[in-house]
Amino acid sequence: MTMLIVMATDNSIIMTADKRVTRTDGYGKVIKIVSDDYKKIKIIKGKYIVSFAGRTAIAEKAFKFIDEKIVSLEYDIHLFFKNAFQYGKACFENSFPNIEPTSVFFLGYIKDDTSYLKGYSSDDDYKGMPISDSIKVRAESLVVENLLFNETQNFLSTKISSRPSFYQSNENLSVLFSEAIKRMNDQMIGKTTYSVVLTSNGATELHN
């Protein structure tokens, strides 16, 4: 699955995710590590970024929908992305009817020099809700997930509060997010990361 950290500042969006993809038995047990070089954040037209945690097959179908359908930016952008995520989920359910179609997506964009970050979950069929930041962890069990979430949240809070000026830099924040992910000791979470920083000037990719 994945570990994903996203944050919105006043005029930027930062997303960092590990690059590991695993094959499981459908119930959380890892069968095989497929890749440690998979980008879980998509840049769209240099103006939108979307990241995901959960079933890779859902995200791949959703991203295909986006690539095929996004021809202009003059529409209800939230409805468009919701439709894309629902399409990915429907494709997954059709192919794997006995496996839970768990997935979470985060959409970030800048409009009029203001950042917007929204989270979508398969739990409510991607209804979508505004957020300012999030840590999404998917491990072998809910207990482990909660432990990793709390530990990571404390780690980031301590680091940022100790050097607030230093972490006003988007690049420094992305390095910190990468460090937080690499600290995890779970076979579902890789040791390579990919970050995207989105500002009004466009998207910047960072590999750590």
pLDDT, tens digit, 9 for 90 and up, residues 181-197 = 999 888 888 899 999 99
Which pLDDT value is given to residue 26? 61
Could you report how far apart the first and last alpha carbons of the chain are, in Å?
19
Which pLDDT value is given to residue 143? 59
Q: Sign of the C-alpha dihedral, residues 133, 137, 141, 147?
A: negative
Count CB atoms within 10 A of the CB of residue 148: 22
User: Model's pTM, two decimal places?
Assistant: 0.91
Rounded mean pLDDT of the chain?
Answer: 90
The percent of residues above 70 in pLDDT, for the chain, comes to 93
Which pLDDT value is given to residue 27? 61
- pLDDT band (50, 70, 90) for residue 149: confident
**Domains (ranges, CATH) in the chain?**
3-207 (3.60.20.10)
* Distance between CA atoms of residues 52 and 19, nearest Å: 11
- The pLDDT tens digits for 9-26 are 989 999 999 999 887 776
Cα 30 to Cα 20, 24, 39, 113, 121, distances in angstroms: 12, 4, 20, 42, 23
Cβ atoms 77, 92 nearer than 8 A: no
- pLDDT band (50, 70, 90) for residue 70: confident
* Distance between CA atoms of residues 88 and 181, nearest Å: 26
